[in-house]
A and B are shown apart, each in its own frame.
Chain A
C-alpha cells in the first residue's frame, strides 16, 4: 500500500511547530501543577530520608544498593537513545532523522540530569556530596582516579555537557525564528537567546561543521558513559558482577531502553501536540526496526552472561544464578525476559504489527523490562555474596517508591516545560529535509521530461 503524504506548506509547518510555544492552554498549567506536585512530593520524601537517614529505606546489610542505585543505572541507560541515536543518524545523513533528533536529544539531557541526582539521593547525607569531588585536603584523598565513582563523575559530566551543547546549538536558528514572530517579553528573551544569528552562509556552515564534529565526538563518549557505569559493578569482586561482558552488555541495554523511551515520548508528543504530519508512521517503523535489533542483541548478551555463569559453575556465582533462574528473584527475571524479548518480538518482527500502536506497546514492555534488568543486576548479587553468612534480602520501603515515581514525573515535567519554550522538532532541519525532497522530485521530473528515465 502506498501512502500519499500530505506535505505541509512552509507557513503551516512554522505555525504547527510554534503553536505549543506561542499558545498556552489550561491543560498545560494543569499538567504542570499535577506533575509539579508529584515532583515536590518526591523532593519532600528525599528531605525526610535525609533527615532520618537511610534507615527509612530498604537498604540494609548486606544489600546497601537498592532502588536508588537501580534508578541511577536505569536513567543513565534511558539517556542513551537521544544524543547517540541522533549523532549516528546525523553522521549517516539519514534524512528521516530530522523530526526525531530534538525529541531524542531532549530525553538524553533530562534523563541524565535525573540519573545524576540518584547518587546524591543514595548518599543519605547529600550535603557531604562534595567529599566525592577531588580536592586537595590533609586527608590526602584527592587524586583517587582508581575509583569507578570518580570515573562516573568525569564520564557523566562530559556526556551531560556534550549532550546539552549538542541539543542547544541547533536551537539557535529556531530561537531566531521565534524572535522574529513574537513581541514583548518573548521577543526579548528569544532575541537574547539568538543574539547575533541572522542566517548568513558563514553561520550555517559553521553550525553544520560544529554539529558534525560534535556528532563524531559524542558517539564514543556515549559508549564510554555506560561502559563506565557498568564498571561500578564489574570492578567489584561480587558474584555475577565481575564480568568482562558487562561493558557492552550495559551499552546495548542502554540503547535498547533509550530507543523504547524515545518511541513512547514521540507517540505522546504526536498525539498531544498534533504532530501527525511530522512524526509519521515511517519514523516509528524505522525506530521499531532499531528496537528489534537491540532486543535481539540484548537477548544475545543475556544468553552469553547466563551460559558462562552456569557452565563455570562457580561456588560463589551459582547461588545468585539459581536465585534469579528459579528462586526468589525468578518471577522478576522471567518477567524481564518476557518484557524485553518475548512480548516485543511479534510487534517488532512482523511488519504489519510494527505500527505506531505496536511499537509503543513493545516499548512500554521494554522500559519495564529494562528497569527490572537493572534491579536484577544490582540486588541479587548483593543478596548472595561469596560467603553464606553475608546473605540477606532487600525489600523497598515507601520513600524509595515515592522518589522513583517522582523521578518519572520529573522527566515528563521537564519535557513538558521544554516543549513550551522550544519547538520540539527542529524547524530549520525540517525545512532542509522538505527542500531536499522537493529538489530530488524536481530532478526526477526533469530527467523524465528529458527522456532519461523510462
Chain B
C-alpha cells in the first residue's frame, strides 16, 4: 500500500487525527499534513516553523549594499566626470542607488530562499496528495506505511473525516 490518509473539513478533527497517529507510534516526520490555508493555531500547522529566512534576507541586503557601493564608487573612478571641482565619487547621490540596490537584493534573497526552502517549483510528484485539499479539506496521512491497518483504524476512530487508501 502506498498511502493511507483522511480528509477533514474541520481543523479540530484533523488535529485529533494528528495527535492519535503520534500516539499510535507514528513519527512526526512521517505524517503528511496538507491544507489549503495556513493553520498556525494548530499543532499540526506548527511544523517546520523555524526558519532563517529573515537573516538571509538581511544578509542579502548587506551584500546588495556592498555591491552597490563598489558599483558606484569604482565605476565613477574608472570613468570620472569632472564637474568643476565637484567630487568624482558623489556619496550623497550614490546613497539613492545604494538604498535601492540594498532593498532589491534583500527582496531577491527572500524570494530565492522561499523558492528553495519551500521546494517550488518541483517536478517530483508527492507521495500523497488529494485535489480535495484545494476544496478546503485538511489531509492527514502516512505515505508508504509499514502498518497500514493500524493507521487506517486510528484514522477511522477519529470520525468527522473520510479515510482513503492509495494501493
Contact = CB atoms under 8 A, between A and B. Distances in A.
A143 B79 contact: yes
A224 B96 CA distance: 8
20 contacts: A14-B136, A143-B81, A145-B90, A146-B90, A151-B96, A154-B101, A155-B100, A157-B104, A158-B104, A181-B131, A195-B121, A195-B123, A196-B118, A201-B44, A201-B48, A204-B35, A206-B117, A207-B114, A217-B57, A228-B96
B107 A195 contact: no
Interface string A6-24: 0000110010000000000
Name the interface size band of chain A. Answer: 35 or more
Given A199-B133, A431-B37, A206 B96 contact: no
B147 interface: no
Interface stretch (A172-180, A291-299, A378-386): A172-180
B90 to A, nearest CB: 5
A200 B29 CA distance: 12
Interface of A: 10-11, 14, 134, 136, 140-146, 150-151, 154-155, 157-158, 161-162, 165, 169, 172-173, 176-177, 179-181, 192, 195-210, 213-214, 217-218, 220-221, 224, 228, 428, 431-432, 435, 439
B135 A209 contact: no
Given A196-B119, A198-B133, A214-B110, A432 B38 contact: yes
A37 to B, nearest CB: 37
Nearest to B133: A199
A210 B72 contact: no
Nearest to A177: B134
Given A142-B79, A221-B103, A204 B38 contact: yes
Interface in B111-125: 111, 113-114, 117-124
Interface residues of B, number: 61
Contacts of B76: 143, 145
B99 A224 contact: yes
Interface of B: 11, 32-41, 44-49, 51, 53-54, 57, 72, 75-76, 78-81, 83, 90, 93-94, 96-97, 99-101, 103-104, 106-108, 110-111, 113-114, 117-124, 126, 129, 131, 133-136
Contacts of B106: 213, 217
Contact of A202 (B47, B81, B133): B47
A180 B126 CA distance: 14
Nearest to A196: B122
A90 to B, nearest CB: 14
Contacts of A157: 104
Which are the 7 A-B pairs with shortest beta-carbon distances? A196-B122, A195-B121, A143-B75, A202-B48, A180-B131, A180-B134, A204-B38
Contacts of B100: 151, 154-155, 158, 221, 224
B114 A199 contact: no
Given A142-B75, A143-B75, A173-B36, A214 B122 contact: no
A244 B47 CA distance: 51
A202 B118 CA distance: 7
B70 to A, nearest CB: 12
